Amino acid sequence: MQQTDKIFIAGHRGLVGSAIARNLRKKGFNNIVTRGREQMDLCDQAAVFRFLQDERPDYVVVAAAKVGGIHANNTYRAEFIYSNLMVQSNLIHGSHLAGVKRLLFLGSSCVYPRDCPQPMKEEYLLTGPLEKTNEPYAIAKIAGIRMCDAYNDQYGTDYVSVMPTNLYGINDNFDLSTSHVVPALIRKFHEARVSGAKSVVVWGSGKPLREFMYVDDLADACVFILQKQGLRDMVNIGTGQEVSIRQLAELVGEAVGFEGELEFDADKPDGTPRKLLDCSRLQALGWEPKIQLREGLRLAYQGFLAHLDKERRLTGS
């Protein structure tokens, strides 16, 4: 991989795509191509194919996806499966037609069975039923993984799929109706601190165990794998460390400076009881994460405050 190679990042404004762009630029890769939604609808097959034929990127990163937390996944089930299938299919097939050297497809740890043995190894894919609340999203991502495999098998392409753990960080989605757990908790705790509230309600029992990775660590791993030409086996990307949702909430409260009580709403869904990735394949390649959870949450809160400042400037409030 040469620094002059042209790299197209689909989803460059999102949490993952923007972090990958930052990492690439930091490493001297400045020939980065992007397109916003107002310039190209990734669900429009003709537009995507035409763009890839015209630009002829050497590398493609598929970081564009419709994502959300438990509530969004379970509420907008049709949109989650349709949008993700369309976007990834257009990008993967279009990349093949345009002769793209190498493609990296971003999956998700939710592709593994709900009651998967822990920690979850790559070979556990498709060995059991999925978690019902995010099944449409997971099925779309599994289709993307298998699509990359099929194109490698039939056409000799050099496509690789990576499975990140739960992510958080700069450019996250802080909308409480669609966000993941970390940004949702950051917003809740911040608003509670500012308003002087005595408690914060957290969805679920607080018992599920989760693994969390700061998005800049994920980006570094993705760029590392992108440069491993010929590596086509699916790769988990995680920290190898897990905390309960209760422990996470306590750490977020600490990062935000909220000193009130936690209330757990057990009527809300918990999702999968435990999700911990086995990252021995990635470790064997020579990569390990650098940012610990406490430090990452501090950085994420700083990012949220910057997000609020931007909102105020745009609205004039």
Residues classed as catalytic: 137
Dihedral Cα 224, 229, 230, 232, nearest 10 deg: 40
Any alpha helices (H) in 5-115, and if so which ranges?
A: 15-26, 45-55, 70-75, 77-98
Are the CB atoms for 202 and 184 separated by under 8 Å?
Answer: no
Distance CA 152, CA 146 (A): 10
- The answer to whether 111 touches 52, Cβ cutoff 8 Å, is no
Tell me the Cα Rg of the chain.
Answer: 19
Residue 203: both structure tokens together = 């969805």
**Phi, psi dihedrals of residue 146, rounded to the nearest 5°:** -70, -30
Q: Are 84 and 91 in contact (CB under 8 A)?
A: no
CA–CA distances in Å: residue 281 to residues 20, 120, 216: 21, 12, 20
Sign of the dihedral defined by the CA atoms of residues 261, 267, 268, 274, in that order? positive
- Strand locations in 137-233, DSSP E? 159-164, 166-168, 199-203, 209-210, 212-214
The Cα 102–Cα 93 span in angstroms is: 13
Q: For residue 218, which of 18, 36, 27 has the smallest C-alpha distance?
A: 18
- Extract the tokens encoding 152: 């490698």
